[in-house]
Amino acid sequence: MRPQSPLTRQIHGWIAQSNGWFSYFRIDLALGIEGKKAKALRRVTIKRLYDAGKLLKAPDKQGVYKKFTPAKRIYLD
């Protein structure tokens, strides 16, 4: 496993603190992501989190995601 870039770490941290749905635009604005290389890295980072099951895609909007939070089981006696 290779080390994460500083931008990848920033994206992970931002997503960890996010609530609800977010878009590429919102991440770019919050983290000041500009340029083709930085946006490509952001896209790859989000795709890897999605592929790992850590994010959900909005079914009707491209580039919109939210954190996947597994449901908590409630046991009744």
The answer, yes or no, to whether residue 2 has pLDDT greater than 70, is no
Separation CA 44–CA 38 (nearest Å) = 10
38 within some domain: yes
Segment 13-66, tens digit of pLDDT? 999 999 899 999 999 999 999 999 999 999 999 999 999 999 999 999 999 999
Structural domain that includes position 35: 6-67
pLDDT of 70 reads 76
6-17 vs 36-51: helix crossing angle, rounded to 10: 50
Is there a domain that residue 41 lies in? yes
Distance between CA atoms of residues 33 and 21, nearest Å: 19
Q: What are phi and psi of 56, to 5 degrees?
A: -110, 145
pLDDT at 11 (0 to 100): 95
Q: What per-residue confidence (pLDDT) applies to 72?
A: 64
What is the count of structural domains for the chain?
1
24-31 vs 36-51: helix crossing angle, rounded to 10: 120
- With respect to residue 76, please indicate whether it lies within any of the assigned structural domains: no
Using a cut of 0.85, tell me whether the model's pTM lies above it: no
Q: Is residue 27 part of a domain?
A: yes
CATH of the domain at 42: 1.10.10
